Amino acid sequence: MPTPLIIDTDPGVDDAVAILMAAASPEVDLRAVTAVFGNVPLAATTRNAGRLLALAGRPEVPVGAGAARPLVHAQAERAERWHGGDGLGGRATALPAPAAPPDPRGAVGLMAAVLREASEPVTIAPIGPLTNVALLLAVHPELAPRIGRIVWMGGTLGAGNVTGAAEFNALCDPEAAHRVLTQADVPVTMVPLDLTTRCPAGPDWVEALGAAGSRGLELAQIIAHYRAAYRDRYGVDAVALHDAVAVLEAVLPGTLRTTPMAVRVACDLGPARGATVPARRPAPEGPPVQVAHDADMDAVLAGVLERVGRLG
């Protein structure tokens, strides 16, 4: 029986790979995609979610628009440099149009409806800021038992990718991240930068993606801008498909090796804002978060590629 899945996303180039990979995976039943601000503004992430589902041949999956901004303080910065002004490497208008307007219930209402209707626990895979998920848990605490697990791409135990301390999704809304990571209602797996940056997709992988079918070719074209940004910023011809690593874990539980840690998020306005700080000992500071720390990287990349190839 496929696991019901909701992806909460800010597409986003790596989000695009993750969404298509999930759409091709029979282990999950993609019940909804909810959009959140992040890499680009909410209007663009919402349109992009609809476009990616149309590209994947899944026009029936509803899209709900969620938070346009963080819970408390303004978003520190967006990521057009990496994802392009349209969020999809300049390819957004080359994709099919969304099959339908966004669901009138919005992200929280749509997630709540999926949770109520599901006959078994639902996996939620947030691959952007955690604002929508924090709102869902605040507005509908009665639905928490219906969530099987949350698998979040975000955070870092080491250096950040926006500031020295903070990873992008955490920094977008530290208060939301703290709320989700310190709640005991739902098991959380956190897939941090420390792991996702150890899974670089190089030229051979991108070339194989482009040859994997029409969807793979489109994703390879979407990746081109992201790849140029990596070459420009880091001098390497490889990209980190952060979100695809996390969503593969949501699709295939156990793909990533994890260790339990209580994690708190720095919510002050100082230089460490958005840092995800683990307690190294069994911690009274809160419930354990399963923090992903290792995986067979080659198998992860091969798994993502093979699944996208199934779309043709």
Q: Give min distance, CB of 108 to ligand RIB, in A.
A: 20
Q: DSSP characters for the chain?
A: -PEEEEEEE---HHHHHHHHHHHT-TTEEEEEEEE-SSSS-HHHHHHHHHHHHHHTT-TTS-EEE--SS-SSSPPS---HHHH-TTSSTT-GGGSPPPSSPPPTTHHHHHHHHHHHH-SSPEEEEE-S-SHHHHHHHHH-GGGGGGEEEEEEE---SS--SSSSS--HHHHH-HHHHHHHHT-SSS-EEEE-HHHHTTSEE-HHHHHHHHTS-HHHHHHHHHHHHHHHHHHHHHS-S-EE-HHHHHHHHHHSTTSEEEEEEEEEE--SSSTTTT-EEEESSS-TTS--EEEEEEE-HHHHHHHHHHHHHHT-
Q: Given candidates 49, 71, 127, 311, which one binds Ca ion under the rule CB under 5 A?
A: 127
Cα 171 from chain centroid?
Answer: 14
Q: Give min distance, CB of 65 to Ca ion, in A.
A: 16
Q: Which is nearer to ligand RIB, 112 or 134 (CB)?
A: 134
Q: Give min distance, CB of 156 to ligand RIB, in A.
A: 8
Q: How far apart are CA 3 and CA 164, in angstroms?
A: 37
Q: Which is nearer to ligand RIB, 143 or 154 (CB)?
A: 154
Binding status of residue 128 toward Ca ion by CB under 5 A: yes
Binding status of residue 15 toward Ca ion by CB under 5 A: yes
Contact positions with Ca ion (CB under 5 A) in 223-262? 243
Q: Which is nearer to ligand RIB, 112 or 239 (CB)?
A: 239
Q: Give min distance, CB of 128 to ligand RIB, in A.
A: 5
| 98 binding partner (options Ca ion, ligand RIB, none; Cβ < 5 to 8 Å by kind) | none
The residue range among 11-19, 28-36, 43-51, 298-306 that interacts with Ca ion, by the rule CB under 5 A, is: 11-19
Q: How far apart are CA 217 and CA 199, in angstroms?
A: 21
Q: Give min distance, CB of 111 to Ca ion, in A.
A: 17
Any idea which residue has 């969503």 for tokens?
Answer: 247
What residues make contact with ligand RIB under the rule CB under 6 A?
10, 12, 14-15, 38-39, 79, 127-128, 153, 161, 167-169, 242-243
| 132 binding partner (options Ca ion, ligand RIB, none; Cβ < 5 to 8 Å by kind) | none
Binding status of residue 126 toward Ca ion by CB under 5 A: no
Q: Which is nearer to Ca ion, 24 or 36 (CB)?
A: 36
CB 294 within 8 Å of CB 256 = yes
Point out the residues that are catalytic: 242
CB 10 within 8 Å of CB 43 = no
The residue range among 41-49, 124-132, 245-253, 256-264 that interacts with Ca ion, by the rule CB under 5 A, is: 124-132
Q: Which is nearer to ligand RIB, 183 or 197 (CB)?
A: 197
Q: Give min distance, CB of 36 to Ca ion, in A.
A: 9
Q: Which is nearer to Ca ion, 143 or 168 (CB)?
A: 168
Binding status of residue 154 toward Ca ion by CB under 5 A: no
Residue showing the smallest CB distance to ligand RIB in the complex: 168
Residues that bind Ca ion (CB under 5 A): 10, 12, 15, 127-128, 243
